[in-house]
């Protein structure tokens, strides 16, 4: 799209964190051509059609650096269950669903994310061929991967962590096929990365194979790290070390690795990972569902780790992640205060996220030459007025209802509150039907799984 957006408040997120008012963005094709004062830009770009953004703030599109969109199928269930949700429900449900069901739930998550201002989603899950094209058809930016493991994750809930080479080989082959079929497709918006599921379900030999694959294709790597006490115990019992030490021993504590969670990392773990240059994607909202978050957030920041944010599962609301993230980081380690400031939290959803996926050169800020991935907020929303410190307003009080429009690659996917890339209501209704069918099938196939709560399906 060729367009001149005029009279906007522009949160550039450039190196100086400049915020402009009464300014304009010239878009030519999928790129930002120029940014500057409206009057000068109108003179310099007379050929462009114009769109007034008076009363709007234009932000770099949010980057959700770690999510599992398909797990919207578990929404408002396992959050209130005391067991291990990953192996108790998330792994079984991923195998219960049909290809079409995975695609429907993934699309629902993407639409929710669009309404939350997200333009990029990093989504490591399983069965990528079932949903990659459907999700990419919503015109957002995706980084997908198979969550590879060579311990059968369906057996872990029964206490069996024994290696299963055949199980692991399926994911290696699926990853190789996914690279060939999907990487850099959909006009480059769909990319593939290499994902190891977690430290407790990947053997050293398997991690080495995944590293070789990443090196062969020049791809970044991601993994879940220290997200549960069960993981800590399993790694300690098997390898005599912490999950962080395990990764460091086997070449997975490196700058090209973005590890999700770090929830139970120790002080020595943090020092080790900071020294190695590993990056962190923090999912504060998900990690706080069972009480105060134990992550050593202040020490992680002090170690110079690049911290980006993700929603993880059951929600794609990045405003929620920012709010909870601010609370968690301020109260971390029992030290209360007002550090970090909202600006540091805001960085985690754009510039830091771009860095985490190796896209600082063309994503994460509003600057000439970068991709036109933009989020428009309505500054005339009661939630955002009076504007005193715009970033503080956004981090403390922004919500999806303040998002008016979203653009990816210079094309609107949400405009004036209307989703343009799918029939939203039909998708919502189908997702409800899918969820009810999946739960019935999963509980029937896994009689040892108690319903986390009484499931009551309403006639809506």
Q: What CATH number should be reported for the domain holding residue 406?
A: 2.30.40.10
> Residues for the chain: how many in total?
460
Q: How many percent of the chain have pLDDT more than 70? A: 100
CB 61 within 8 A of CB 117: yes
Residue 299 has pLDDT above 80, yes or no: yes
Predicted pLDDT of residue 453? 79
Q: What is the pLDDT of residues 192-228, one digit of tens each?
A: 999 999 999 999 999 999 999 999 999 999 999 999 9
Same-domain status, 318 and 399: no
138 and 84 in a common domain: yes
Instruction: Kindly state whether residues 9 and 121 are assigned to the same domain.
Output: no
Residue 430 lies in a domain: no
Could you give the CA distance from residue 50 to residue 177 in angstroms, rounded to a whole number? 44
The confidence score (pLDDT) of residue 379 equals: 99
Domain count, the chain: 2
Considering the domain boundaries, does residue 258 fall inside one?
yes
Whether residue 189 sits in one domain with residue 107: yes
The overall average pLDDT reported for the chain is 97
Specify the pLDDT at position 428. 99
Residue 75 and residue 219 in one domain: yes
Residue with tokens 């990947």: 202
Each as own residue / partner, the long-range contacts of residues 431-435 (CB below 8 Å, 24 or more positions apart, any chain) are 431/72, 431/104, 431/105, 431/107, 431/108, 432/460, 434/73, 434/97, 434/101, 434/104, 434/105, 435/73, 435/75, 435/105
Residue 235: strand, helix, or coil:
helix
pLDDT above 90 covers a percentage of the chain that reads: 92
The answer to whether the predicted template modeling score (pTM) of the entire model surpasses 0.95 is yes
pLDDT beyond 80 at 86:
yes
Whole-number pLDDT of residue 76: 93
CA angle 126, 132, 133 (to 5 degrees): 160
Burial degree of 254 (CB within 10 A; 0-12, 13-18, 19+): middle
Q: What distance lies between CA 455 and its chain's CA centroid?
A: 28
Provide the domain limits for residue 49: 3-60+371-415
> Which of 309, 329, 356 is the last residue in one of the domains?
356
Query: Within a domain: residue 431?
Result: no
With beta carbons less than 8 A apart as the criterion, state whether 87 and 151 touch.
no
293 in the same domain as 196 = yes
Q: Is the pLDDT of residue 290 over 80?
A: no
Q: Tell me: do 281 and 270 sit in the same domain.
A: yes
Give residues with Cβ within 8 angstroms of 332, minimum separation 6: 293, 295, 296, 297, 298
Same domain, yes or no: 169 and 277: yes
Segment 114-123 mean pLDDT: 99
**Boundary residue ending a domain (382, 397, 415):** 415
- Going by pLDDT thresholds of 50, 70 and 90, the confidence category of residue 287 is confident
At 15-26, the pLDDT tens digits run 999 999 999 999
> What pLDDT, in 10s, does the model give residues 408-421?
999 999 999 999 99
């Amino acid at each position: 799209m060729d367009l001149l957006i005029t009279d906007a408040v522009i949160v550039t997120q450039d190196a100086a964190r400049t915020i402009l008012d009464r300014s304009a963005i010239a878009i030519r094709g999928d790129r930002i051509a120029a940014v500057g004062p409206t009057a000068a830009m109108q003179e310099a770009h007379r050929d462009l059609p114009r769109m007034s953004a008076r009363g709007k703030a234009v932000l770099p599109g949010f980057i959700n650096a770690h999510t599992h969109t398909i797990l919207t199928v578990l929404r408002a269930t396992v959050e209130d269950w005391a067991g291990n949700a990953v192996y108790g429900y998330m792994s079984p449900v991923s195998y219960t669903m049909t290809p079409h069901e995975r695609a429907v739930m993934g699309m629902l998550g993407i639409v929710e994310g669009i309404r939350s201002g997200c333009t990029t989603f990093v989504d490591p899950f399983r069965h990528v061929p079932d949903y990659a094209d459907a999700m990419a058809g919503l015109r957002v930016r995706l980084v997908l991967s198979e969550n590879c493991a060579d311990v059968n994750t369906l057996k872990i809930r029964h206490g069996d962590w024994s290696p299963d080479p055949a199980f692991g080989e399926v994911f290696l082959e699926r990853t190789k096929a996914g690279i060939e079929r999907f990487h850099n497709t959909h006009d480059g918006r769909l990319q593939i990365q290499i994902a190891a599921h977690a430290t407790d379900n990947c053997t050293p030999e398997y991690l080495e194979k995944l590293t070789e694959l990443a090196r062969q294709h020049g791809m970044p790597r991601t993994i879940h790290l220290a997200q549960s006490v069960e993981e800590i115990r399993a790694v300690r019992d098997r390898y005599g070390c912490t999950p962080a030490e395990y990764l460091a021993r086997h070449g997975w504590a490196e700058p090209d690795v973005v590890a999700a969670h770090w929830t139970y990392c120790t002080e020595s773990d943090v020092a080790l990972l900071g020294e190695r240059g590993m990056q962190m994607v923090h999912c504060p909202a998900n990690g706080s569902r069972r009480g105060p978050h134990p992550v050593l957030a202040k020490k992680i920041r002090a170690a110079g780790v690049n911290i980006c944010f993700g929603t993880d599962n059951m929600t794609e609301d990045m405003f929620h992640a920012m709010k909870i993230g601010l609370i968690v980081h301020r109260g971390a380690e029992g030290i209360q205060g007002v550090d970090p400031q909202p600006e540091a939290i805001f960085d985690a959803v754009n510039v830091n996220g771009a860095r985490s996926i190796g896209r600082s050169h063309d994503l994460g800020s509003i600057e000439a030459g970068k991709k036109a991935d933009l989020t428009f907020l309505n500054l005339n929303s009661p939630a955002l007025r009076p504007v005193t410190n715009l970033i503080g307003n956004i981090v403390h009080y922004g919500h999806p209802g303040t998002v008016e429009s979203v653009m990816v690659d210079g094309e609107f996917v949400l405009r004036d509150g209307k989703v343009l890339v799918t029939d939203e209501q039909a998708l919502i209704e189908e997702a409800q039907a899918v969820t009810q069918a999946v739960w019935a099938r999963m509980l029937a196939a896994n009689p040892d799984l108690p319903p986390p709560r009484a499931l009551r399906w309403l006639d809506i």
